Structure formats: structure tokens, C-alpha cells
Homo-oligomer: A and B are copies of this chain.
């Protein structure tokens, strides 16, 4: 293996002190009274030989790795993978590297990941947290790490976060179904205590209450087999023949739900109207195209990175907790356009 160039090599070659080299590299030349001439000479040589500082040595010395952990539910989910990509680009421009892994919404897996990231000595954590991880997050905060939540918050714990208005998004989605003439609207959601799911449910209930109809709610299990999940939904639709529209609260559920609807040979939007929370490239392609609540992905990413960078760079110990809430957008396609628009209550 080729020998790596070190600061010592450069200092010797240039016959300067390695202090000077280090200062030049870190942009501290002016502050430390190094002449511009010397600074340029050093930087030119560094460029010429392609010197790259040893990251391990820097981290060991400074105690900072310039690494940020990103933990999402499932990195192969289009929502999370798109966000991850935006974040990594953004963070890199600021000198940070992002390391991402999937929690699979499992408490144990998340704990394992936190352990891994701890041993890697990451400086900060960006997390779409599973319920129950509160204590571990509090410990991270106590130990001085930067922590930012996104996608969901955790009730009962005060942490910086970036989320969307799930209540409003769901409410608008169900109102759209009502305005399109649907009356017996079901919601299929996860049997999960996650706050964003609870908020989506509240949005549904609010809209249903306004038309004095009963709730038609079916919970499915996150880790269930795809086939079971579909079978459960089919059973639900069969035992509630009155259902003429359905609101799926995640992509994941909608994938299965659309398959259930196909198995039942129901036609969208004539037999059943469909709206999904979270937009997805694929919905444009579906027959018919699926109406969805779109989250502002780019904006979420920007806000999260800005927030964590601010935490990482500030020295103050007492930090104000900031919770950013962004709005969603209803992307209307053909899956929920049934009748002429009725008058809403």
C-alpha cells in the first residue's frame, strides 16, 4: 500500500513548521499571523501532492468526527430515500458526512443503531423515531449530542423537530373525498402509537364528524406479511359493503390496499375513491392516477440540515427547542373524482 502523505512530510519538504501547515490547512493563517505568502506556498503544495488529512487523527484529536447519523424507518421507502439523498448532499457542502441506516420501526434495532453510531462517535443524530426510544434520546441530549427529529415527534419529550401538519393534510384529503361525492369513507392505517399516525387519524375524524357519518377505521400491522395485510383489508371491505371511498395513511399501506381493491374487482374511482398520504412517483403512473397528500420533501431536508448544523456549531449549552411544522399539498389526480362537486357543509 502506498504511503500516505502526512503533515510532517509537508513541513519537512517545505522546511516550515508543521504548526504553520496545520494553520494554513485550517484557514487559521491570518488569525495566527502566518504570512499570506507562506500560506499560499503551503496550500499550493498541498494541492500539488493531493494531500488529504487523516480523518481518524483529526477526530481523535478534536473529539469531533463531522459525521451525522440519519435513522429512518426504511431507506428503501421512496419517501425516506429521497430525503436521505437531499440531506447528504446538503450536509456535505457544509463539511459533514451523513451515515444512514434503517430502523425498521423496531425499538431494538434503533437501540442497536444508536450503539453503532455512538461507537463511531458521530456528532449528531437525525431521527424519524420509533415510539419508546425517548430515554435513549434524552441520554444523547444529556451527553451533548445534537439531535433533530423529523417525520414525527415524540409526545412527552422536548426535542428539536421538523414535521408536516399531518392533521391538516389528512383533513384536506378526506374533505376532498367528501367534496367529490363520497359518503362512506374508510381509513386504513397502522396500529401504531406514532404521533403522525394519530394526527392523520384526527384529520380523518374531524372531516367525518362534519358530515355526521360513522368512522370506518381499519388498523393493519406494520410488520405483517404482505399477504396477511391484503387479506385483512379484503375482509374489512367485505364486511363494510357501504364503503365508497378509502383514505390510506401511508404509501406502504396503500400499496397493499390497491392490491386488495384489485382483488375485489372494485373500480377506482367509480366503485371506490382513493386518497393516499405521501405522494410517490408511481401514483402518476397508476391506473387511474392516485390522488395523494404530498410532503414538501426538499423543504423538510433543508430545515433539518440547517437545524442540526446550528446545533453542531453553536457553543451555548442551553438551547431553545425549535419545532418546525410545514404544510402539505393535496395533489389531485383521478382516483377520487366521482361526481360533480357537491356542496360541503
Instruction: Point out residues on A near B: beta carbons under 8 Å.
Output: 1-2, 52-57, 59-60, 65, 75-76, 78, 81-82, 84-85, 88, 92, 97, 99-102, 115-116, 118-121, 142-144, 255, 258-259, 262, 281-282, 284-287
Q: What are the nearest 8 A-B pairs in CB distance?
A: A1-B144, A76-B81, A56-B59, A56-B60, A52-B119, A56-B56, A287-B287, A2-B143
CB distance from A229 to the nearest CB of B (A): 13
CA distance in complex: A258, B283 (Å): 12
A42 vs chain B, min Cβ distance (A): 18
Give chain A's interface secondary structure class: helix
A1 proximity list for chain B (CB < 8 A): 143-144
Specify which chain B residues have a CB less than 8 angstroms from the CB of A255 in the assembled complex: 281-282, 285
Closest Cβ neighbor of A64 among chain B residues: B56
Residues from chain B with Cβ under 8 Å of A54 in the complex = 60, 121
A18 to B234, CA, bound (A): 63
- The smallest beta-carbon distance between A177 and chain B, in angstroms, is 21
Give the Cβ gap from A274 to chain B, nearest Cβ, in Å: 13
Complex Cα–Cα for A39 and B305 (A): 44
Nearest B residue to A66, CB-CB: B120
User: How many Å from the CB of A144 to the closest CB on chain B?
Assistant: 3
Residues of chain B within 8 A of A284, CB atoms compared: 259
**Could you tell me the distance in whole angstroms from the C-beta of A244 to the nearest C-beta in chain B?**
20
Minimal Cβ-Cβ distance residue in B for A317: B1
Contact assessment for B116 and A92 in the assembled complex, using a CB-CB cutoff below 8 Å? yes
Given contacts A82-B76, A97-B120, A101-B88, contact A57 B55 (CB under 8 A): no
A55-B120, A76-B84 known, 14 other contacts, Cβ within 8 Å = A1-B143, A52-B118, A52-B119, A55-B119, A56-B56, A56-B57, A56-B60, A57-B60, A76-B85, A97-B116, A258-B285, A259-B284, A282-B282, A285-B286
Q: Which residue of B lies closest to A120 (CB)?
A: B55
Chain B contacts of A55 at CB under 8 A? 56, 119-121
